Amino acid sequence: MLAAGLSFVGVTGIVRYLGTELPAAQSAFVRFAWGAVFLLPALGPLLRNGLPAGTAGPVLWRGAAHTIAVICWFYAMARLPVAEVTAIGYLNPVLVTLGAALFFGERLAARRLIAVGVAMLGALVILRPGLREVLPGHLAQLGAAVAFAASYLIAKRLSGRLPAAAVVALLSLAVTAALAPLAAAVWVPMTPAQTGWLGLVAAFATFGHYAMQRAFGAAPLTVTQPVTFLQLVWATLLGWAAFGEAADPWVLAGGGMIIAAVSFIAWREARLNRGPVTPAVNAAKV
């Protein structure tokens, strides 16, 4: 999970470095086109055998939601400090929790509601509406958080019907196809260096997702989840060292509130799903 976090910070750093010279739709398209190339081995068997019945619709809907999310994220990342984008991005699991309750009927207990409220308050601490100008980049990153949450909720539905590698590969293919006309409409000439940097973005992102999946298989969420929040530390250090971005105490405080809320939700979920360690008193008696 530590390797995954460093990989994702590498993604944000490169996109921040590329800045606003390329339109967000074009940058996102090139990144996902590279990703589709990396995932071709996983697509081959799926394209030969076809999709299981009832999965084409969710795949397309997920592709649409993820397309909106990545365009918003690329737009925000090119315009906001690295740490600020990272901190707002921590809203994703909170929104997934809300979506699971609204659309999948999962129970939302009082403790979870309090945790969600703390996370939303953390987002307000970061944005500080009324105390400073809320920029289009902030709104874009909030939109990205909502759209990413929708994508993850649809992925949850697909996970029981398709292998994990197939779900990821189909996402790359769908997003690349959806972004193609949007990128073509705003296309500007690219240098080989820009193309290479976006290829590196795809490599970091692909490895990050792979490392994260390995971590999920090796340890419970209560162990892996807190490690992901080191990303805020890495992002703050990267912003300071590479781009001269001063650490904003309000961003760190708000991010800390969101981190605490998400950590509580993960811990509570693990406690509820934990089975008994030893058998009950009468369990072994005939």
pTM score of the predicted model? 0.79
- The per-residue pLDDT for 192 is 94
- The per-residue pLDDT for 279 is 38
The reply to whether 40 falls in a domain is: yes
Residue/partner pairs of 2-5 with CB below 8 Å, 24 or more apart:
2/227, 2/230, 3/207, 3/208, 3/211, 4/208, 4/209, 4/211, 4/212, 4/215, 4/228, 5/208, 5/227, 5/228, 5/230, 5/231, 5/234
The reply to whether 285 falls in a domain is: no
The reply to whether 190 falls in a domain is: yes
Q: Which domain holds residue 163?
A: 2-271
SS3 189: coil
Distance CA 174, CA 217 (A): 26
The reply to whether 282 falls in a domain is: no
The reply to whether 131 falls in a domain is: yes
- The per-residue pLDDT for 276 is 47
**How many domains is the chain built from?**
1
Over residues 220-231, the pLDDT tens digits come to 655 666 676 777
Which tokens is 249 given?
A: 């105490």
Distance CA 122, CA 126 (A): 6
Residues of the chain with pLDDT under 70: 47, 130, 213, 216-217, 219-226, 228, 269-270, 272-286
Quote the radius of gyration of the chain (alpha carbons, Å): 20
- The per-residue pLDDT for 273 is 64
- The per-residue pLDDT for 286 is 36
The reply to whether 169 falls in a domain is: yes
The reply to whether 284 falls in a domain is: no
- The per-residue pLDDT for 274 is 61
Distance CA 150, CA 267 (A): 23
The reply to whether 280 falls in a domain is: no
- The per-residue pLDDT for 146 is 92
Which tokens is 277 given?
A: 């360690």
